[in-house]
Amino acid sequence: MESSHQTPIHHLAPDPLLGAEDVTFPRGFRAWGWQGGPHLKMALIWSDREAAVAGRFTTNAARAAPVTVSQEVVRGGKSRGVIVNAGNANALTGEAGRRDALEMQRRCAERLGVAPHLVAVASTGVIGVLMPMEQIREGIDRLAEWAQGGTAGGTLSAAEAILTTDTCPKTASIEVRLSRGVVRIGAIAKGAGMIHPQMATMLVFITTDAAIAPQALDGLLGEATDNSFHGLSVDGDMSTNDTVLLWANGASGVELATTEDRESFQAALTRVARHLARQIAADGEGARHLITVRLSGARTVEDARQKARAVVRSNLVKSAVYGQDANWGRVLAAVGSVGEPWDPEKASLFMNGLALYRRGRPEPFDEAAARRVMGSWEVVFEVELGEGTASAEAWGCDLTEGYVDINAHYRS
């Protein structure tokens, strides 16, 4: 095969409007990471003042204890930050898991001198194992000590400390010029496997120094999430721990004063979220190719999203991309398996610009050329349905032996 063994994330082109800074890019936010052992890392993201907070979480009925704790924080609309651990999901751990998540929240709050309801909690890692609370307590104390002392702390950044099977940290940042000044947005994320809406096995933490009320912040995050993380699928498995949190601490003193301000901020936030989503898809466990699906001509946006996601989650499509086999019928079969009906006689399909099917007829193509196209680190399928004006984009990756190997031995 012509494709590189290097993961696609290393080939991901930078967005010219985005920086690589993290959650500390906006004014008034700091972050620390701590290595507690081979199977435990922790991070603290903190605002120097009370911030509005919004969140989106897994819809899995088996959601983890930290998810329920953070949902309660978000319902309150205010937060100072989040305490995170990687290595243990604290999911399906019963009442003991709930107590442990609340202890994490309470201990962090006490060490930093704030009310517990201002501290969110997030966890990622192995499901069904009780938390190593002695180590967790040590980590919280160390992170709080660094936060109070203003030190950088530890050998790991917060972006590295939240990773599990990821090959590298995922960050993004942007400045937005509004009518009354400039605001900043920064973010970190983790995610590589157990990725499927709603949302994915991922933790995403986004900060901004804009002054935004909780209700407005929730609307902004909802739209950004719908157009980014809800278009992700690495393996079709929904997580118990998905958490996306967005804080706005107002440290810039700049509000979204006009409709144009809101639109500009929304576009920037969505751009950050989409870039993180592409990083997560490109870093899928064992991945060698990023798969992007751009579907247009659907009757509704929701139908377009559903159909695009069906393609990126199809094991047949994923396997064909890995094998560089232009078995393009699998793409349209996946599109036809969900949502509203459509007429194949109106549809067209292109792969990295190569016409495969046009208005109901297969297009002749050179197999060697198709294989070369599929050797690209990003394989883009463009599906035109011809039924309406709605469109959507989704991201995933190929299915390789590497994915099987990682997940066959995850606990060992």
Residue 3 lies in a domain: no
Domain of 133 in residue numbering reads as: 8-282
Q: Which tens digit of pLDDT belongs to each residue from 275-308?
A: 999 998 888 777 789 999 999 999 999 999 999 9
241 with 304, same domain: the answer is no
* H/E stretch holding 47: strand 40-57
pLDDT score at 315: 92
Rounded to an integer, the average pLDDT of 26-36 is: 94
Question: Residue type for 389, please?
Answer: T
pLDDT score at 70: 98
Q: At what angle do helices 94-112 and 133-149 cross, to 10 degrees?
A: 20
Is 201 a catalytic site residue? yes
Instruction: Give the percent of the chain with pLDDT over 70.
Output: 90
Here the CATH number for the domain that contains residue 83 is 3.60.70.12
Q: Which tens digit of pLDDT belongs to each residue from 77-95?
A: 999 999 999 999 999 999 9
Residue 151 pLDDT exceeds 80:
no
Rounded to an integer, the average pLDDT of 109-124 is: 97
Q: What are the C-alpha distances in Å from 280 to residues 11, 74, 112, 163, 203?
A: 13, 24, 32, 11, 10
- At 200, the pLDDT band (50, 70, 90 cuts) reads very low
Domain final residue, candidates 225, 248, 282:
282
Domain count, the chain: 2
- At 155, the pLDDT band (50, 70, 90 cuts) reads low
DSSP string covering 51-108, please?
A: EEEEEEE---TT--HHHHHHHHHHHHTEEEEEEEEEEE---S-HHHHHHHHHHHHHHH
Residue in 48, 43, 70 with CA at minimum distance from that of residue 57: 70
The 3-state DSSP class for residue 15 equals coil
Rounded to an integer, the average pLDDT of 383-400 is: 94
Partner residues linked to 123 by β-bridges:
85
> Is the Cα torsion angle 17, 174, 147, 216 positive or negative in sign?
negative
Here the CATH number for the domain that contains residue 394 is 3.10.20.340
Rounded to an integer, the average pLDDT of 17-43 is: 92
Is 16 or 273 the better-scoring residue by pLDDT? Answer: 273
- At 3, the pLDDT band (50, 70, 90 cuts) reads very low
Rounded to an integer, the average pLDDT of 394-412 is: 75
Q: How many residues comprise the chain?
A: 412
Q: Which tens digit of pLDDT belongs to each residue from 95-106?
A: 999 999 999 999
Residue 2 lies in a domain: no
- At 389, the pLDDT band (50, 70, 90 cuts) reads very high
- Within 10 A of 3 (CB to CB), how many other CB atoms are there? 19
Instruction: Give the percent of the chain with pLDDT over 90.
Output: 74
pLDDT score at 39: 84
Residue in 101, 98, 105, 123 with CA at minimum distance from that of residue 39: 123
Q: What is residue 360's DSSP assignment?
A: T
267 with 297, same domain: the answer is no
Least confident span in 20-24, 47-51, 68-72, 101-105? 20-24
Is 215 or 288 the better-scoring residue by pLDDT? Answer: 215
Cis peptide leading into 199, omega within 30 of 0?
Answer: yes
297 with 266, same domain: the answer is no
Residue pair 285/399 in contact (Cβ under 8 Å)? The answer is: no
Question: Alpha helix (H) ranges present in 113-213?
Answer: 133-149, 158-161
Phi, psi of 406 (to 5 degrees): -60, -45
254 with 297, same domain: the answer is no
Residue 1 lies in a domain: no
What is the distance between the alpha carbons of residues 321 and 318, in angstroms, rounded to a whole number? 5
- Strand ranges for 260-330 from DSSP E: 290-298
pLDDT score at 1: 38
217 with 346, same domain: the answer is no
Q: Which tens digit of pLDDT belongs to each residue from 315-369?
A: 999 999 999 999 999 999 999 999 999 999 999 999 999 999 999 999 999 999 9
Structure tokens that stand for 364 in this block: 């002749």
114 with 206, same domain: the answer is yes
Residue 192 pLDDT exceeds 70:
no
pLDDT score at 44: 97
48 with 160, same domain: the answer is yes
* H/E stretch holding 281: helix 259-282
pLDDT score at 183: 98
Mean pLDDT across the chain: 90
Domain final residue, candidates 261, 282, 303:
282
Question: Alpha helix (H) ranges present in 375-412?
Answer: 401-408
Assessment of whether the complete model's pTM goes beyond 0.85: yes
Catalytic residue among 201, 243, 292, 400: 201
Q: What are the C-alpha distances in Å from 237 to residues 59, 61, 253, 294?
A: 12, 13, 41, 22
| Residue where the block lists tokens 């949190």 | 245
pLDDT score at 198: 46
